[in-house]
Structure 1
């Protein structure tokens, strides 16, 4: 048996105790070791322990200097338990101490409400690994499951045994593609997965992670489509496998219409047909339960005990215990071997069944929302299979085929083949926008930045989460209900807001929620109302679907009582003005489960669907549009690592880590795709240089480099980041220079000797303010801090003050309310109460934002709209360009910036006191 020898990056993620962190070694580590032991309190997201538990992975933050790199950790439950813990580093502080650590806990006999993570004085004893290479395959052995994973070929899983019994065979991916639906129908082309590379990312002792990379191969003919990465997760002592499946779209949107994407496997069945069982779970907890050959409702009864056993999924016993009238006629009772659950839209599913191919489907049940969890097996065991966010990511489908034969086949369809194929074509024909002048004119009317060839889905991605649980017996309805709840809402351990804040891991721009003053109470109530409104609006407007779930809309249209879903750049939000950050900081403040789930869904969506991961635009994101990828503004402000860091650090999710790594060299794409080309920005013709704005571009670059530096400890990354900071500070007007040419390899900007004065209202509203707050803590630079504080102090200053400092007043700028948090930050750093007071004044004045936040809804009834809905009253806004007050529709931009400013002002006001 050949145990894996992992490369360094893999080892950092796979070690049972923390890696040495050699890049950080130094006196600071010795100081950290000598400091008092740290302790991190943890509780369950949503406060209650999970009713069904098969393991959990999470991230824990630590204060600077408290925990040395190379430390190992122990876990202590509130019930006195001390379960085995697997730990690894996620991030380091500049002094070399640990900033974030990842942890894994396997299944437990009981799960207490609270835990504590503490550094250990001595490392734990060596424990067996869960994954290794053996005979050209990877083997995972949890003690309950033994999984065989080929190193290449069409199968993700060759075989999975549960305590020596084969339970799952031939696991692979399937893909179906059709031609143009506007043309005569053509046969679907079929593809199967082809794995080209397998990487063991963690091998235990508590958790194993195996990543499989490949693409879908045509079954007949040649060619590949849709590259994928599938990660398999397993915990020691568990009978459950988790799959995180990511596909990337590389087809021709004009010709290739994806009609089915799924995960398929076989499961052996040996029990009599009347002891074979099928289950589907509804989102409401209800269970559809049938046997392949039903014994209930017959003209003759096999006996009450037999009927009760079949309904409960237990063995019905030998035929001798059946009534003779039934036992001798079993062959005449139809055996339904195939079942299908189709969720074609978010409010409707249908279950059908049939006996065999060539026979009709019978309608079995209809409901609103399915949990996306099914089961096939017998009293001797079977497979529970589930797709997370099943109805939210419609169209989805669960298929069971041949359950009447020796081997049933199960397909979990991420895109249902019974639904219409994906149509990812541009939603209009270009509207004659074949010149720059026409494109700029169109931008003035629909707010859509169109350019031929840019509105392509090529390179966008989608991540789905699946669970396979190989059980020892047919689960009861209550057990299935609990399993479905775990699949849809995976347990997560989190630190409380007060502890998170005390560690300072996410900078100074937030603090735990408080209710000390009347003003604070009012702001907290408004923050809660805004979040509740958007959470409820997701449901009211049905913002669901495979490509849409996780996003919200940009601007409301009160005349039609709809969001502007069909109007150019006013439709899907695509992270515009930091909606993601608003949700994440609000979660940090409150610890609310519903806030986390919405932020998590948005992070999954905006990091995958709104970003090109292949092709000429990779890895840039797309600006807000009717289609997530439709806008020609391909920019770092959308793909920014600033929006992903929270999910990565709180959950230790490997796929999110991939997205963070993807952004480290994203700036190189800016050489070919100049972000501000429509407004006069010119690319740098020199090789190795690019024109980069100091706001939306550099803010994203700084977020990517900061995150990479704290994850890797690579001093070269810190040097590159510092060079960019220092060369911004060295500009004649610092951040007010606006844009510069950067040497990409070093991060250094050319100095603008012309003394250009340029500023955009968008510069600081895509994470720049928050990232600069962290940089000043982590990479102290007096020159950079002064440049940033000048920007924070002067943006909302009076023209006379701007004239004195810069030689000229700034052009009339927008978003003053959102920029109030910059003024507050300057007051905090300079310990200037006058600046702090000015920040509050600007915030409440609401210029370029919401001066009078609204908490009122009115009811719109048919026939004014298709169905009854709750609509917000119009809000009063002030146009920053004219200082006029008007009634306006709801704007996600304004709400996100109001929320970020409110949270920052509360936090910085408290810190200054």
Structure 2
């Protein structure tokens, strides 16, 4: 069939490139020919991250399909490069307006990462994995065919037991937290600490298929009196796999002044038996691919040598020869060799960890090792097996800690600390006392100097969240050193199968506003190089400026301080970026262009961070996000433009991640909060006037940043559910924006959330903001318009795209007056390019490129101008480009990507950036 032809062409192309050594340059016309079949029923996949060894890890990914080709309920199977078929588990993620499948999710196990795969629409009656879930009155029992887990439905135990081949490897898995009544650095307070455990409120079997089972557990931390810190834990099981993947989300609702989190983690009991010299402890170091590997009772370095066979076996983790074969001088005095039962690896910063050990409580610790960045994997067991446990992004999310306790007893313990109890307690109090900013006027004055929009009571962390990924792996034999290192690396960078980006482009997902990398002309090559340089610059900035930590990892900083040669981490609104001007979108579209694993990892970390930490999930501000600040939640501007679903759609559809799915659904009714938290409440001319009465179904909304987020949330929910009510609200909103006196240039209105209709204003005033189109509105409208038939809105939107950067004369002729004080001209060149693309107007295309290269309120032509700063001017050597800001780079990146996609054929010759 044709789809086989398509794949053979891809394989031929790839093999030809490899054999010739020629750099791969994508050409959009050739790709259209390559994927010319309009009835594609086969979707090629690619390995974003390959396994370094035969892996039992389960894999999940998303695939888009052409409109009208596949009905809901369609079957799918997996095919490898040799034509072999394999059963997979499939479920719908999104639908086209006609009800056909738009996105599907798929899960598989036992895949080999040196093999090409594709998803095929069709039936295949292959072997089904041995995954089985039994739901009993009090527990769920999950059997993957390799491991078995018992999950209680009530109480404070998440995993009652984990076993492999009927051998219990771990028991009594609990969430734990430690709170204290004051910060560690204020010694006047007598600190009282309490230990809490995670109490289960609900256990839900979210998915129970032949390949993949997902169990969602919700609850709070409690000691019987205190109930706080809600959690959401998902446990993932795959047929044939020996792993349990854990996605753990904590929602912060402590009293910032009196409840300080001293420790946060998950612990397990590990049954132990056998001689102490055959019990083993392992930690993994990412730097140099090293391993800390010791026995509880060591047999090396003794005054009396037990012999090479014995020491070699212990060092390798194998069972030593029997006790009777030990030399008498060792055997008779074995009891005098200290047994070290407790071990701790503390990652106190992103650049340093320490390992200590002791014999047992009540005795001193010995320094056992140190390094830079640990991989977050620990092992406790014997030659007959044990438990491997790991925290992904361990050193990046410091302060983290791995503990082994009681390894010399019959029941050892592994503690996976997401927040180490050995560092100062988590202190989320606001960083200043308000400095007298008790009126809107004073707050506006402060904004003018530090760019911080402060308001008493708004800079609270109440309701922010943090999601972590963990892995448990039961093993029946002690893993060899090299194998354990590979397992740890796979926990950190798990093998990932993902839909090929050339296929994604052909399907038009995420809009027609991007294209795969194309360096076919000097002009295009120059822009592609500059896109590459900007990403690599920020990738390096993350590391040089240590943008790491439990609450920070995944975010960028907003603005650079050229005097201090550092980012303005302590200057109000210049601190953390919090998605300002669509940094998330820039990274995701750049990933789609390049399919680079490092781009994906940074975009993934940003999605996890900005969707959780920068958004309030409970409380009076929920579910709005917080504008940029030196604290992620510090700003009083609580806005939809930060929590927008536009920033999460990529990761959800590419990976089918359930937690991000929760975040998308959280935004469907988010606009209701604007009835209480109005973004323009401090503006002059508004703050002094009586405000209309609003309700949860009647809110003030701007047509730009507000409506862009509302449309993104509604579009996503419509796609996911096919809801006709959501669709009608979208249509109503578009129609009533178009019906305004000046269409989109009316700027704002009163939105009725129950119907989606804006009131039609009688005002003839023009209102336009440079921020309207730079928080995802442009990208969402581009996706939305082909799905609905609202010609009047398309006309008014194209008018906005044409006129924003037009001459004052053209604006005046069409609108009756010109637009003044507009900013971000370079970023808006992509709107002009879109208008040129839709109207096929070469003059508009030429104007778009002129706007782009002019660099107005953006970046002038030229590549990254990096200089190294070192010596006493800085704490550590850094590379800096003093002309860059994150706002400018994100908007430049989006403009470059979209201008290339829309009007790349019209790029002026010799327009390279010198």
Question: What is the TM-score normalised by the length of structure 1?
Answer: 0.93
Conserved 8 A contact 2:375-2:395: yes
Pick one of 55, 72, 76 that aligns with 1:73: 76
| 1:383-412 C-alpha deviation (Å, 9 max, x unpaired) | 001000000000000001001101101110
Q: Which region of structure 1 is more displaced relative to structure 2, 351-360 or 183-192?
A: 183-192
Equivalent residue number for residue 233 of structure 2: 230
Pick one of 684, 704, 708 that aligns with 2:713: 704
Instruction: Give the 3 Å change call, closer, same or farther, for CA 390–121 of structure 1 in structure 2.
Output: closer
Task: State whether structure 2 residue 721 is matched by structure 1 residue 717.
Answer: no
Give the whole-Å Cα distance in 1 for the aligned partners of 2:906 and 2:660.
Answer: 35
Give the whole-Å Cα distance in 1 for the aligned partners of 2:906 and 2:662.
Answer: 38
Number of equivalenced pairs: 862
Task: State whether structure 2 residue 208 is matched by structure 1 residue 207.
Answer: no
Give the whole-Å Cα distance in 2 for the aligned partners of 1:173 and 1:122.
Answer: 41
| 1:56-115 C-alpha deviation (Å, 9 max, x unpaired) | 11111222223222111110122444232111111111122211111111134x443310
Conserved 8 A contact 1:37-1:119: no
Q: Which region of structure 1 is more displaced relative to structure 2, 373-382 or 55-64?
A: 55-64
Conserved 8 A contact 1:63-1:505: no
Equivalent residue number for residue 895 of structure 1: 889
Determine helix, strand or coil for the equivalent of 2:851. helix
Determine helix, strand or coil for the equivalent of 1:753. coil
Task: State whether structure 2 residue 510 is matched by structure 1 residue 510.
Answer: no
CA displacement at 1:146 relative to structure 2: 1.1
Equivalent residue number for residue 832 of structure 1: 841
Equivalent residue number for residue 735 of structure 1: 744
Equivalent residue number for residue 819 of structure 2: 810
**How is 1:7-18 mapped onto 2 (pairs within 5 angstroms)?**
none
Conserved 8 A contact 1:155-1:171: yes
**How is 1:649-688 mapped onto 2 (pairs within 5 angstroms)?**
649-679=653-683, 684-687=692-695, 688=697
Equivalent residue number for residue 9 of structure 1: none
Conserved 8 A contact 1:49-1:113: no
Conserved 8 A contact 2:49-2:497: no
Equivalent residue number for residue 311 of structure 2: 307
Conserved 8 A contact 2:131-2:240: no
Equivalent residue number for residue 251 of structure 1: 254
Equivalent residue number for residue 641 of structure 2: 637
| 1:333-392 C-alpha deviation (Å, 9 max, x unpaired) | 111011000000011100001111101111000111100001000011000010000000
Equivalent residue number for residue 648 of structure 1: 652
Q: Which region of structure 1 is more displaced relative to structure 2, 119-128 or 819-828?
A: 119-128
Equivalent residue number for residue 13 of structure 2: none
Task: State whether structure 2 residue 152 is matched by structure 1 residue 147.
Answer: no
Task: State whether structure 2 residue 781 is matched by structure 1 residue 772.
Answer: yes
Equivalent residue number for residue 574 of structure 1: 578
Equivalent residue number for residue 362 of structure 1: 366
Instruction: Give the 3 Å change call, closer, same or farther, for CA 856–420 of structure 1 in structure 2.
Output: same
Instruction: Give the 3 Å change call, closer, same or farther, for CA 740–44 of structure 1 in structure 2.
Output: same
Conserved 8 A contact 1:130-1:207: no
Q: Which region of structure 1 is more displaced relative to structure 2, 623-632 or 472-481?
A: 472-481
Conserved 8 A contact 1:313-1:476: yes
Instruction: Give the 3 Å change call, closer, same or farther, for CA 849–111 of structure 1 in structure 2.
Output: closer
Determine helix, strand or coil for the equivalent of 1:817. coil
Q: Which region of structure 1 is more displaced relative to structure 2, 119-128 or 823-832?
A: 119-128
Determine helix, strand or coil for the equivalent of 1:325. helix
Equivalent residue number for residue 197 of structure 1: 202
Determine helix, strand or coil for the equivalent of 1:597. helix
Give the whole-Å Cα distance in 1 for the aligned partners of 2:128 and 2:349.
Answer: 50
Equivalent residue number for residue 377 of structure 1: 381
| 1:149-181 C-alpha deviation (Å, 9 max, x unpaired) | 111110101111211111110001000012222
Conserved 8 A contact 2:462-2:618: yes
CA displacement at 1:197 relative to structure 2: 0.1
Q: Gaps spanning 5+ residues in structure 1: where?
A: 1-33, 876-889
CA displacement at 1:909 relative to structure 2: 1.1
Question: What is the TM-score normalised by the length of structure 2?
Answer: 0.93
Equivalent residue number for residue 566 of structure 2: 562
Give the whole-Å Cα distance in 2 for the aligned partners of 1:226 and 1:487.
Answer: 26
Give the whole-Å Cα distance in 2 for the aligned partners of 1:846 and 1:102.
Answer: 41
Equivalent residue number for residue 280 of structure 1: 283
Pick one of 862, 865, 874 that aligns with 1:856: 865
CA displacement at 1:853 relative to structure 2: 3.5
Instruction: Give the 3 Å change call, closer, same or farther, for CA 911–203 of structure 1 in structure 2.
Output: farther
Give the whole-Å Cα distance in 2 for the aligned partners of 1:912 and 1:717.
Answer: 38
Task: State whether structure 2 residue 479 is matched by structure 1 residue 475.
Answer: yes
CA displacement at 1:332 relative to structure 2: 0.8
Give the whole-Å Cα distance in 2 for the aligned partners of 1:77 and 1:226.
Answer: 45
Give the whole-Å Cα distance in 2 for the aligned partners of 1:808 and 1:628.
Answer: 40
Give the whole-Å Cα distance in 2 for the aligned partners of 1:346 and 1:54.
Answer: 27
| 1:600-639 C-alpha deviation (Å, 9 max, x unpaired) | 0000000000000010000000000000000000000000
Equivalent residue number for residue 887 of structure 1: none
Equivalent residue number for residue 217 of structure 1: 222
Task: State whether structure 2 residue 620 is matched by structure 1 residue 616.
Answer: yes
Give the whole-Å Cα distance in 2 for the aligned partners of 1:681 and 1:60.
Answer: 47
CA displacement at 1:734 relative to structure 2: 1.0
Give the whole-Å Cα distance in 1 for the aligned partners of 2:767 and 2:262.
Answer: 49
Equivalent residue number for residue 173 of structure 1: 175
Give the whole-Å Cα distance in 2 for the aligned partners of 1:464 and 1:701.
Answer: 28
Equivalent residue number for residue 905 of structure 1: 899
Determine helix, strand or coil for the equivalent of 1:392. helix
Task: State whether structure 2 residue 380 is matched by structure 1 residue 386.
Answer: no
Equivalent residue number for residue 797 of structure 1: 806
Pick one of 423, 430, 437 that aligns with 1:433: 437
Give the whole-Å Cα distance in 2 for the aligned partners of 1:156 and 1:620.
Answer: 31
Give the whole-Å Cα distance in 2 for the aligned partners of 1:88 and 1:700.
Answer: 27
Conserved 8 A contact 2:172-2:269: yes
Q: Gaps spanning 5+ residues in structure 2: where?
A: 1-36, 908-914
| 1:414-453 C-alpha deviation (Å, 9 max, x unpaired) | 0000111111111110011011110010000000000000
Give the whole-Å Cα distance in 2 for the aligned partners of 1:911 and 1:659.
Answer: 38
| 1:836-870 C-alpha deviation (Å, 9 max, x unpaired) | 11000011111111123342211211111112221
Q: Which region of structure 1 is more displaced relative to structure 2, 221-230 or 792-801?
A: 221-230
Pick one of 583, 587, 590 that aligns with 2:591: 587
Q: Which region of structure 1 is more displaced relative to structure 2, 126-135 or 443-452?
A: 126-135
CA displacement at 1:279 relative to structure 2: 0.2
Pick one of 152, 160, 165 that aligns with 2:162: 160
Pick one of 389, 404, 423 that aligns with 1:400: 404
Pick one of 760, 763, 768 that aligns with 1:759: 768
Instruction: Give the 3 Å change call, closer, same or farther, for CA 559–655 of structure 1 in structure 2.
Output: same
Conserved 8 A contact 1:577-1:896: yes
Equivalent residue number for residue 885 of structure 1: none
Give the whole-Å Cα distance in 2 for the aligned partners of 1:306 and 1:441.
Answer: 74
Determine helix, strand or coil for the equivalent of 2:872. coil
Conserved 8 A contact 1:77-1:112: no
CA displacement at 1:498 relative to structure 2: 1.3
| 1:284-324 C-alpha deviation (Å, 9 max, x unpaired) | 22100000011111111222111111100011132111111
Determine helix, strand or coil for the equivalent of 1:550. coil
Equivalent residue number for residue 504 of structure 2: 500
CA displacement at 1:36 relative to structure 2: 4.4
Pick one of 48, 57, 61 that aligns with 1:54: 57
CA displacement at 1:37 relative to structure 2: 5.4
Determine helix, strand or coil for the equivalent of 1:797. coil
Equivalent residue number for residue 89 of structure 1: 92
CA displacement at 1:812 relative to structure 2: 2.0
CA displacement at 1:911 relative to structure 2: 7.5
Task: State whether structure 2 residue 330 is matched by structure 1 residue 336.
Answer: no
Give the whole-Å Cα distance in 2 for the aligned partners of 1:111 and 1:646.
Answer: 23
Instruction: Give the 3 Å change call, closer, same or farther, for CA 675–176 of structure 1 in structure 2.
Output: same
| 1:785-826 C-alpha deviation (Å, 9 max, x unpaired) | 001101100100111111111111112200010000000101
Equivalent residue number for residue 448 of structure 2: 444
